[in-house]
């Protein structure tokens, strides 16, 4: 990772660079200006001294004067002026020099080519700033001509060592260096403190932002800096307040929505504009028997129904609402009615699908259809038989009394069957509707049993079946309708007598089990195979259709018993094995239990 420089570090570094550059440039400029100024001053002073030298040489030097005397004059003048004085012949030969011994003069170069000498010879005052090879020093030279009769006879040259200028400049440089260091240190301290005043609130702001991003919505700055970042902090706190309010609103709306969806019986599924599921409630998961939350799946992955997918597509593309019926094959087959509606753009542009479980309605519908078909079928058989018998009678049999009697008996038998069928249908419909039925009578179970047994004793006797009653002592009363309970018991006992055949034995045993009175009808008849037991209480369900018909059964008896048991808040059970007889048990709540309105288990 690239090393990161803090804001403070950046400011201090920037300041360091800017201040150093500024001070260095300033120092360089300043040194140059001062140097120029000092050199100019030296030049002016040298020019003044040169004029004086000119006069002194004019007074004290005579043409033809020997080198020794000229050099002595140069030494003198050099002492007087405190400068190096060189006297040069017009041809460039050095005649005297205050800094060079007379004996060494002959060894010197020809000075006629020195710039200041050349300039002086050319007619002016020559000046030059250069290094003296002779003295190994930086010197400022100025030269002038001494004329006699309009002819140059001597060139006088002054040389000022620039060591003083350099010394002054070095002192100045030292001063500038110290000033640069001080200025730098001062500006760095100021930059450091100023950057700190900016970076601290920025850091606090960063920390608070990070905390809010992590979910700590209560985090605020509270302390605000006095500069613009203080305003930023104040705005930040205000924004955080608003954010917290909005999130609280959204959370409560979401919780409400979840509670509503969770409490719905209908399954609800919401998709985004691409058909991906973004919300589903528990009812949907249960209805479709999904293994987990379907959020993130497509509708096709969750419901395998081409019609529904078509409806979802239409709602997504054209916003067209639709309704489709689908069948879900799970542990049990369910019938669902799905209503599909498109969501507005503001709602995300997806679709919402609401699934209503219409399994019960569908199965009721199916039961109704089956029932009508069964009733029609049950009615048609005796009616056809009666019609055929009557037609035969009318055709010819009336003349033959023996035939006539046989057909009359057929008509009577089927007439009875019709009557029994209509009676059972009526009973069933009365029990189901519950209309006009007083269900709050307090009844003595033993009395009920006696009445029922009395009405069946003849039939049992005729069929050679032994009918017995066993009543537990001190039975509590049951609440209900006497006619209905009698009808239920008659149906159970009648079946037992009918199906157990001659030499059979049927027992009605009554006892109390907790808040229930148990009526147990046991016979030693043929018994019922296990596969029939689950459907035994359905309307028109018979184990042996022909035997039942022969015995005058309608196939409705046990259905009536089941409905009567339910109407009383009770239940009926069967336990039977082929060859070992059957036990039908009717559970009726005691009057006390019924009064407490305990929900039947």
Residues found near ligand ADP in the complex (CB under 6 A): 491, 495-496, 499, 523, 525-526, 528, 536, 541-544, 548, 553-559, 582
| Closest distance of CB 564 from ligand ADP, Å | 13
Nearer to ligand ADP, 230 or 501 (CB): 501
| Closest distance of CB 455 from ligand ADP, Å | 16
Rounded CA-CA distance 28/495 in Å is 129
| Closest distance of CB 597 from ligand ADP, Å | 30
| Closest distance of CB 499 from ligand ADP, Å | 4
| Closest distance of CB 262 from ligand ADP, Å | 43
Parallel, antiparallel or unpaired: strands 466-471 and 505-513: parallel
Using alpha carbons only, what angle is made at residue 182 by residues 177 and 184, rounded to the nearest 5 degrees? 95
| Closest distance of CB 600 from ligand ADP, Å | 22
Nearer to ligand ADP, 407 or 519 (CB): 519
Rounded CA-CA distance 32/169 in Å is 9
DSSP state string for 115-172: HHHHHHHTTS-EEEEEEETTTTEEEEEEEEEEEETTEEEEEEEEEEETHHHHHHHHHH
Nearer to ligand ADP, 225 or 428 (CB): 428
Contact 525, 485 (CB under 8 A): no
| Closest distance of CB 388 from ligand ADP, Å | 23
Q: Name every residue whose Cβ is closer than 8 Å to that of residue 48 and which is 6 or more positions away in sequence.
A: none
Nearer to ligand ADP, 74 or 500 (CB): 500
CA distances from 486 to 496, 524, 563 (A): 15, 22, 13
Rounded CA-CA distance 565/574 in Å is 13
Nearer to ligand ADP, 357 or 494 (CB): 494
Q: Which residues are bridge partners to 324 per DSSP? A: 338
| Closest distance of CB 267 from ligand ADP, Å | 37
Nearer to ligand ADP, 8 or 520 (CB): 520
| Closest distance of CB 331 from ligand ADP, Å | 28
Nearer to ligand ADP, 68 or 545 (CB): 545
| Closest distance of CB 528 from ligand ADP, Å | 5
The length of the chain in residues reads 601
Nearer to ligand ADP, 199 or 491 (CB): 491
What b/e string do you get for 521-538 counting C-beta neighbours within 10 Å, with b at 16 or more?
bbbbbbbbeeeebeebbb
Beta strands across the sheet bearing 267-271: 277-280, 267-271, 351-357, 333-342, 322-329
Nearer to ligand ADP, 499 or 587 (CB): 499
**Tokens matching residue 242:** 């608003």
Residue with tokens 């403190």: 193
Closest C-alpha to 536, from 479, 576, 581: 576
Q: Is the dihedral of CA 118, 119, 123, 125 positive or negative?
A: negative
Residue 123 Rama label (left phi>0; alpha psi -120 to 50; beta): left
Parallel, antiparallel or unpaired: strands 466-471 and 277-280: unpaired
Nearer to ligand ADP, 126 or 526 (CB): 526
């Amino acid at each position: 990772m690239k090393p990161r420089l803090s804001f403070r570090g950046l400011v201090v570094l920037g300041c360091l660079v800017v201040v150093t550059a500024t001070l260095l440039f300033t120092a360089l400029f300043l040194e140059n200006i001062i140097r120029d100024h000092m050199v100019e001053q030296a030049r002016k002073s040298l020019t003044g001294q040169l004029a004086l030298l000119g006069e002194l040489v004019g007074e004290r030097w005579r043409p033809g004067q020997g080198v020794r005397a000229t050099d002595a004059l140069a030494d003198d003048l050099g002492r007087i002026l405190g400068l190096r004085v060189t006297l040069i012949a017009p041809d460039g030969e050095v005649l005297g020099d205050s800094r060079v011994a007379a004996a060494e003069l002959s060894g010197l170069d020809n000075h006629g080519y020195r710039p200041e000498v050349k300039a002086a010879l050319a007619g002016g005052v020559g000046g030059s700033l250069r290094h003296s090879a002779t003295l190994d020093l930086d010197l400022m030279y100025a030269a002038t001509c001494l004329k006699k009769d309009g002819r140059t006879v001597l060139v006088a040259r002054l040389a000022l060592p620039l060591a003083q200028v350099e010394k002054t400049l070095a002192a100045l440089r030292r001063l500038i260096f110290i000033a640069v260091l001080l200025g730098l240190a001062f500006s760095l301290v100021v930059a450091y403190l100023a950057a700190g005043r900016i970076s601290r609130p920025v850091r606090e702001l960063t920390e608070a932002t990070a905390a809010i991003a992590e979910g700590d919505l209560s985090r605020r700055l509270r302390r605000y800096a006095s500069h613009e970042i203080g305003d930023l902090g104040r705005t930040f706190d205000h924004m955080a307040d608003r954010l917290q309010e909005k999130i609280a609103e959204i959370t409560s709306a979401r919780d409400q929505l979840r509670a509503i969806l969770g409490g719905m019986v209908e399954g609800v599924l919401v998709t985004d504009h691409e058909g991906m599921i973004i919300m589903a409630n528990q009812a949907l998961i249960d209805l479709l028997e999904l293994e987990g939350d379907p959020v993130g799946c497509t509708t096709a992955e969750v419901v395998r129904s081409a019609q529904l997918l078509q409806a979802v597509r239409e709602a997504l593309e054209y916003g067209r609402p639709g309704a489709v019926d689908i069948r879900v094959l799970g542990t049990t087959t369910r019938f669902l009615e799905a209503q599909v509606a498109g969501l507005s753009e503001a709602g995300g542009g997806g679709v919402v699908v609401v699934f209503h479980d219409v399994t019960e309605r569908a199965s009721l519908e199916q039961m109704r259809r089956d029932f009508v078909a069964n009733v029609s079928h049950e009615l048609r058989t005796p009616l056809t038989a009666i019609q055929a018998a009557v037609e035969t009678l009318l055709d010819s049999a009336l003349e033959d009394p023996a035939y006539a009697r046989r057909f009359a008996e057929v008509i009577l038998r089927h007439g009875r069957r019709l009557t029994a069928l209509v009676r059972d249908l009526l009973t069933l419909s009365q029990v189901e509707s519950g209309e006009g039925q007083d269900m709050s009578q307090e009844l003595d179970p033993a009395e009920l049993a006696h009445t029922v047994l009395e009405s069946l004793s003849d039939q049992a006797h005729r069929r050679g079946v032994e009918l017995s009653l066993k009543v537990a002592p001190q039975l509590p009363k049951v609440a209900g309708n006497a006619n209905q309970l009698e009808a239920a018991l008659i149906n159970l006992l009648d079946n037992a007598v009918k199906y157990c055949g001659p030499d059979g034995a049927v027992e009605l045993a009554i006892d109390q089990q907790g808040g229930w009175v148990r009526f147990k009808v046991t016979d030693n008849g043929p018994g019922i195979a296990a596969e029939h037991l689950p459907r035994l209480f359905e309307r028109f369900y018979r184990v042996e259709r022909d035997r039942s018909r022969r015995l005058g059964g309608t196939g409705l008896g046990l259905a009536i018993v089941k409905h009567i048991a339910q109407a009383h808040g009770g239940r009926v059970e069967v336990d039977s094995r082929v060859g070992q007889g059957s036990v039908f048990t009717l559970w009726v709540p005691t009057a006390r239990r019924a009064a407490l309105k305990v929900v039947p288990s």
